[in-house]
Amino acid sequence: MKEKGQERRLEQLKRHYTAPVPLDDTTPAGERHRFRAPKRPMTLPPLTFAQLKNVMIERSRSGDAVSASSLPNAMSALVQFMAERGFRDDSLIGTHLRASYYKQVAAHVKALREEGRPGAYIRNRKSLVKQWRALVLELDRQAAAQGGTETPLQRALRELLDGGLPLKTVASRARVPHASLKRWLRGSLPQRGKLGHLQSLERFFGQPPGTLTDLLPIARPSAGSESASEAEPPKIAYRARLGEQIKLKYRLKDPCETLVKEWKDFLLHKTSLTASGLKRQKRGKWNTTSRPVKPEDKVQWFESVTFLGQRTICQTAAITWTHFSQYVGWLSLAVESGGAGLPAEAVQSLASLLNREHLEAYIEWRVARAGGVLHRGICSILKLAASICHPVTGYLTQCRNRFPVHPDARDELAWNATCRSAHEGARQLIQHIESTCELSRDPSAPVAAILSLPNPLAAIKDATKRMDAVRPSTGGMAEAIWARDRLMVKLLTSNPLRAKNLILLTIAPSPSGEPAQLREVNGVWRIAIDKKDFKNLAGAAKDRAYDMPVRRELWSDIEAYRDTYRKMLASPSNPYLFVSSKSPDGPMYSLNRQFENISKRYFSDCPGVGPQTMRHIVATTILKMHPNAWAAAAYVLHDREETVRKNYAHLASDDAARWLDEMMTKALSGL
């Protein structure tokens, strides 16, 4: 059966690719290729880089892949990637663009960085190499045409074992129970305390430590009982600053009629198919949706576009309007308050973006307000200015006659010069900012005390204990709310989802017939969320569906909540797991706020945080308990290993050293 499938796969491949290829993986290792995995059997379609290039060219021609104009870019990125990684045209792709893709890309990025390439360049290269990987995966899918969902461990084990030594031989030589290995291959999870066997397998196959063990869900951290200090929660610098900042409300609230007209014309230009007769960047079209995330009565004038009698919403317009109205508001803000002090009627025009001096002064003011820190948010208005004054495609550049009030509007040459100067000025500022850009807010500051513990999750466990202690055993609403909140905290330790996914998490089939995301499968509670519902839809989520077990410790809580408490808060048809009595039919939109309240009350030394922070806490715990277990952390967060490494790099050095010290102490005891 299996062989047949493989034959079919090969047939299919032969039709696609010209040259026949050997089955064994004998990829020559380049000199610079340090992370080359040892020779091992695998069931992946044997495909060389040269063949992949041909497929890409064919597909590009038939319109199934990158556009013709992007093809050279994709090509040059791959060529550079191959040269740097030591691959040749006749090299087999093997796992290089598959399982070990992230490792390869990370190494490639590192090399580019060492060459002194700018960040934007590296991002572009990454994006381009990704297109190649996507093509490989697409071909794999076509070839495999099997929908089985393997666990990561299962797949990794299969790749190590397939076609090589007999299972029994491996088991005995690696000193792993034969039956266990068979079970794992069928998809069951190793028991706790059996990690040693996986490590034996890693050694047996010459894999780096963690290749297999990292693929498991997190190990339960040993109980720690750090006593909570009763001192005041620490003050967070960003919050204090924000509190000060928002006292001044400078944004333009009631635009005059002419500005409204200008914006509507501009919006039409940005959203219409024809760019309202003007030139526009190829990617300069703003998307619209007819199904906004907010209720009908919350839609505002600056984001709505009526096209053929149908009202649609443009999210980008809302964001851009916010930035623009802030700038205009500042222009007419009194000088004493730090504004430009211009008359309100004079500045209410898109043409205000032409003034280079004003833009510069505004940026300076914003930087000062942000505590002297240049951050990316400040760039937004500059990007709008650069875009709208672009020498060719700029809206202002092309619409001189729509701004008769501007002094330069009478003369085409003067107008063009003004636009060009504004464009250049904005570009220069953007470049300057992007090269010196830093963060002005530390998202982990509110949980710094927790993160500094050897086992941060222990603090959350303490919090749930405190919650247990204050259970309102009245059987009423208060108890239902208590049970809901407690489950919320616990669930986030097991499955640290982003807020939106948590809010929209369902425990019953939706009215449209989609199955519940949180459900019991073969006696195991699992959460399965469609790729399209993730923020990183185009990133990590694209590669891997979210289908994770909920930790066993929570199962009884889930059942108790489902059977008793949830019914008190929501109507029977409500599919969402977390609900509030205020909106019994919808999701609990106040979840973020409620989590903040809970964390403020029960987390030690914490002034209140959002659910996002739980992702930090879980990832930090994993990396503290198992230094350099990047893959495990990425697995739990449903992020890319690369992203996790980047965000938690600070945990690599110190904790690895501590861990190494402990290990060596043990190893050398009695010396």
| Between 190 and 292, CB nearer to DNA | 292
251 contributes a contact to DNA by CB under 7 A: yes
Q: How far apart are CA 648 and CA 631, in angstroms?
A: 12
Q: How far is the CB of 643 from DNA (least distance, A)?
A: 5
Q: Which stretch binds DNA (CB under 7 A): 100-108, 120-128, 165-173, 216-224?
A: 120-128
Which run of H or E residues covers position 102?
helix 101-114
Binding-site size for DNA (CB under 7 A) equals 104
The 10 Å Cβ neighbour count of residue 609 is 24
Per-residue contact flags (x/-) with DNA for residues 200 to 239, judged by CB under 7 A: ------------------------------------x-xx
Q: Which stretch binds DNA (CB under 7 A): 85-93, 347-355, 609-617, 657-665?
A: 609-617
| Between 231 and 293, CB nearer to DNA | 293
In this chain, which of 43, 172, 281, 306 binds DNA, going by CB under 7 A? 281
242 contributes a contact to DNA by CB under 7 A: yes
Q: How far apart are CA 610 and CA 604, in angstroms?
A: 15
Per-residue contact flags (x/-) with DNA for residues 56 to 85, judged by CB under 7 A: ----------xx-xx-xx-xx--xx-----
In this chain, which of 33, 117, 155, 402 binds DNA, going by CB under 7 A? 117
Structural contact between residues 52 and 134, judged by C-beta atoms closer than 8 angstroms: no
In this chain, which of 154, 455, 613, 628 binds DNA, going by CB under 7 A? 613
Q: How far is the CB of 485 from DNA (least distance, A)?
A: 8
Structural contact between residues 519 and 526, judged by C-beta atoms closer than 8 angstroms: yes
- The closest alpha carbon to 350, from 315, 371, 381, 375, belongs to 381
304 contributes a contact to DNA by CB under 7 A: no
Instruction: Name the residue type at position 148.
Output: G
| Between 181 and 429, CB nearer to DNA | 429
Q: How far is the CB of 40 from DNA (least distance, A)?
A: 29
Beta bridge partners of 304: 313
In this chain, which of 208, 377, 407, 509 binds DNA, going by CB under 7 A? 377
Q: Which stretch binds DNA (CB under 7 A): 84-92, 119-127, 215-223, 653-661?
A: 119-127
Structural contact between residues 10 and 133, judged by C-beta atoms closer than 8 angstroms: no
Beta bridge partners of 529: 546
Per-residue contact flags (x/-) with DNA for residues 634 to 653, judged by CB under 7 A: ------x--x----------
Q: How far is the CB of 146 from DNA (least distance, A)?
A: 26
Q: Which stretch binds DNA (CB under 7 A): 352-360, 381-389, 405-413, 621-629?
A: 381-389
| Residue keyed to tokens 């198992």 | 626
In this chain, which of 498, 519, 562, 567 binds DNA, going by CB under 7 A? 498
378 contributes a contact to DNA by CB under 7 A: yes
Which run of H or E residues covers position 461?
helix 456-469
| Between 368 and 664, CB nearer to DNA | 368
Structural contact between residues 393 and 281, judged by C-beta atoms closer than 8 angstroms: yes
291 contributes a contact to DNA by CB under 7 A: no
| Residue keyed to tokens 């893709």 | 101
In this chain, which of 28, 118, 177, 234 binds DNA, going by CB under 7 A? 118
Q: How far apart are CA 298 and CA 292, in angstroms?
A: 10
Q: How far is the CB of 569 from DNA (least distance, A)?
A: 7
Structural contact between residues 444 and 619, judged by C-beta atoms closer than 8 angstroms: no
Structural contact between residues 160 and 205, judged by C-beta atoms closer than 8 angstroms: yes
| Between 9 and 390, CB nearer to DNA | 390
249 contributes a contact to DNA by CB under 7 A: yes
For residue 398, what are its two tokens?
A: 């092309």
Contacts (CB under 7 A) with DNA, residues 518-537: 535-536
Contacts (CB under 7 A) with DNA, residues 571-590: 580-583, 588-590
For residue 524, what are its two tokens?
A: 């195991």
3-state SS assignment for residue 311: strand
Backbone angles phi, psi at 470, to 5 degrees: -110, 25
Diameter of the chain measured on Cα atoms: 91
390 contributes a contact to DNA by CB under 7 A: yes
| Between 363 and 651, CB nearer to DNA | 363
Backbone angles phi, psi at 537, to 5 degrees: -55, -40
- The closest alpha carbon to 429, from 381, 484, 371, belongs to 381
177 contributes a contact to DNA by CB under 7 A: no
Q: How far is the CB of 179 from DNA (least distance, A)?
A: 41
In this chain, which of 531, 568, 592, 652 binds DNA, going by CB under 7 A? 592
**Alpha helices (H) in 254-350, listed in sequence order:** 257-271, 315-331, 344-347
In this chain, which of 33, 40, 285, 526 binds DNA, going by CB under 7 A? 285
187 contributes a contact to DNA by CB under 7 A: no
Q: How far is the CB of 57 from DNA (least distance, A)?
A: 11
| Between 304 and 612, CB nearer to DNA | 612
Long-range contacts of 124-132 (CB under 8 A, 24+ apart): 124/77, 125/77, 125/80, 125/81, 128/73, 128/74, 128/77, 128/78, 129/77, 129/78, 129/81, 129/105, 130/105, 131/65, 131/66, 131/74, 132/52, 132/56, 132/74, 132/77, 132/78, 132/81, 132/97
Structural contact between residues 285 and 269, judged by C-beta atoms closer than 8 angstroms: no
Contacts (CB under 7 A) with DNA, residues 85-114: none
In this chain, which of 123, 311, 432, 552 binds DNA, going by CB under 7 A? 123
Long-range contacts of 1-6 (CB under 8 A, 24+ apart): 5/144, 5/146, 6/43
| Between 104 and 213, CB nearer to DNA | 104
For residue 173, what are its two tokens?
A: 């030589």
Q: How far is the CB of 205 from DNA (least distance, A)?
A: 30
Q: How far apart are CA 615 and CA 497, in angstroms?
A: 7
Q: How far is the CB of 244 from DNA (least distance, A)?
A: 8
In this chain, which of 221, 339, 611, 627 binds DNA, going by CB under 7 A? 611
Contacts (CB under 7 A) with DNA, residues 422-441: 423, 427, 431, 439-441
Contacts (CB under 7 A) with DNA, residues 445-484: 446, 481
Q: Say if residue 464 is exposed, middle or buried (CB neighbours under 10 Å; 0-12, 13-18, 19+).
A: middle
In this chain, which of 47, 128, 215, 488 binds DNA, going by CB under 7 A? 128
Per-residue contact flags (x/-) with DNA for residues 7 to 26, judged by CB under 7 A: --------------------
Structural contact between residues 201 and 174, judged by C-beta atoms closer than 8 angstroms: yes
| Between 84 and 159, CB nearer to DNA | 84
For residue 97, what are its two tokens?
A: 């663009």
